[in-house]
Amino acid sequence: MNVLFEEIWRNLVLLVETLFKLLFQVGVLGIHFVLWIVFAAVCLWAINWYKARHALVQGAWAPAVLLIFVIALVWSRITPGACPYCGLPNFWWQLGYVSMLAAFGMFLGWLQTVLHWTPRDINLDPPAHGHGHGHGHH
């Protein structure tokens, strides 16, 4: 009977150790991908893709594509060299990465419209000046 309790105790300790290792590894993974997570959160809950889609259709796609090229070009000058993972030459892997990020954002925009997660509009206009603000004029 005592041997059974010792085995259960060892298994429980092993389970707790494994749980802490798993939480640590998930945390490290989350820190590694924190920019992707923040980007996904912004795309899903801060951008009104219904309005953005209409702007892109009306011609805003051209500056967006130009911005993708400029970001990849600047990144290729800051960090020259082939891709450390796939061996693609300089600029091309940066262009692929930035294009993948833009495509991920567009996918999240599509997901936002499918799931009806459109954020509320925030009125940044100052309140109109005029009467009706609570005190009388003499």
Element holding 20 (H helix, E strand): helix 2-32
pLDDT band per the 50, 70, 90 thresholds, residue 69:
very high
pTM to 2 decimal places: 0.68
Instruction: Provide the token pair at 123.
Output: 């009125």
Domain ranges for the chain = 1-32, 36-115
pLDDT band per the 50, 70, 90 thresholds, residue 65:
very high
pLDDT tens for each residue of 112-131: 999 998 888 888 888 877 66
Number of helices (H), then strands (E), in the chain:
5, 0
pLDDT band per the 50, 70, 90 thresholds, residue 3:
confident
